[in-house]
Amino acid sequence: MLDKKKSNLLLCITGSIAAYKSVDLARLFIKNNFDVRVVMTEASKEFITPLTLQAISGHQVHENLLDTEAERAMGHIELAKWADLIVIAPCSAETISRLTQGRADDLLGAIFLASEAQKFIAPAMNMNMWSNQTTQQNIEYLSSIGMDIVGPSKGEQACGDNGYGRMSEPEEIYETIMLTQNKSLIGKKIIVTAGPTREQIDPVRFISNNSSGKMGFAMAEAAAISGAEVILITGPVSLSCSPQIQRLDVQTADEMYREAQSSMSDADIFIGCAAVADFKPVHANIQKIKKTDEDRLNIELQKNIDIISSLAREFPDKRFMGFCAETERVEEHAKSKLIKKGLDFIVANDVSKSDIGFDSDYNEVSVFTDNSHQFFHKASKNLLAIQLVNLLSKENQSLH
C-alpha cells in the first residue's frame, strides 16, 4: 500500500460516455486517503463538467497545457512531479493512439511524457474499435513500456452493441490498482488450475461439466497483476490469457495433476479453481461405441484423483485455496471440504442460481478458513478474482 504522505493520484478523463463513472472512481480514492487531482481533455467536457470533478476532488480541474495561473506557467511539469499514480479513466481510442505516438500537444500527453509515476489506463470505446488491429497493437505497445491496462469489460454499450469495450467499473479499477501496490506477492510463484477436465468414453464422447474456466482465468490474471509468477493449468476452454502467464493446456484430471505436481516444489500458493471431473471410465473404448438395439449402455466408472487434497498432503508447507460449486447447504459442504482436503481457504458458490457461476461473467462467493467467513457480493468474476488475490496477499503479508 502507498504511504499516506505520497498518495497523490492524478485522474485523467477523456472523451467517452463512461466519463460519468469517473466521479465514483474519484470518490473511492478520496475515501481511501488519496489526494486526487483531475485533468480533463476538451472532449471529456462534452460528457461531464469540470465543476462536478472540482466539487468531488476539492481542487481546481486542470484543462490547459499552458496554464498562466500555474506556478511559473509550467503546470504540466508540476503535475507530472506531484503524481505518484496517474490513471486515465475513461481512456478513449483516440487518447490511446496519441499516447502511442508520444504526442505532447495537450496537457494529458505532456504530463504522461514528463511523469515517472506508475500509469494506468482504463479503455472505453465501441467493441469494434477495441477489437480493431490498430487499437490492439497500440495497447500492446503501451503495455510493453510499462503502462498497466485495466479492462475493458464486456457488456451492453451506449451504441447498443454488446461486447468488450465498456470501461471497467470504478471498484474494479480501484481494487486492481490497490493490488499492484501491495508488494507481498512479488517474487511468489502461484499455480492456478482452471476450466473443466474431459474423461474420454470413446474417441468422440467424454464426461465433463459446464465450467467455462472464466473464474480460473480471472484468478490467474489477478495473480499476475499482483506481481507473482503465474502458471495456469487449464482444461479445454475457449479463453486467452496475458502473455506473462505461463499456460499449460491439459485434457484429463490425471494430466492436470501431473502438471501441477511437477510445478509445486518451488511454488508458494496453489489455487484450485478447475472443475475436475469426479469420475472417469475404467476403460475408454479405442473405437466409437456403436448404437445398438439395447435400451441401456453400462459404463463402469472409477474415481478420479482429488488433485488439491493430494497436493495439500504432498506439500504441507504450501498455501492452498480451493473452490467448490454447490447446489444446496453451501456453507456446510464448504466447511467440510476445507477440513477434509486440508486447505487454508475454500471459496464456495451456489451454482443453482442461474445468474452466477458456470458460464456466467458474474459470481458471488463465500470464503471460509478455519476461523473466519467472508461473503463477497455479486460482482464480475474479474473483480472477485482481484478481491480474492488481495485476500491472499494480505494473508501472506501477515505471515511475515
**Residues assigned a catalytic role:** 159
Q: Are 195 and 235 in contact (CB under 8 A)?
A: yes
Amino acid, single-letter form, for residue 331: E
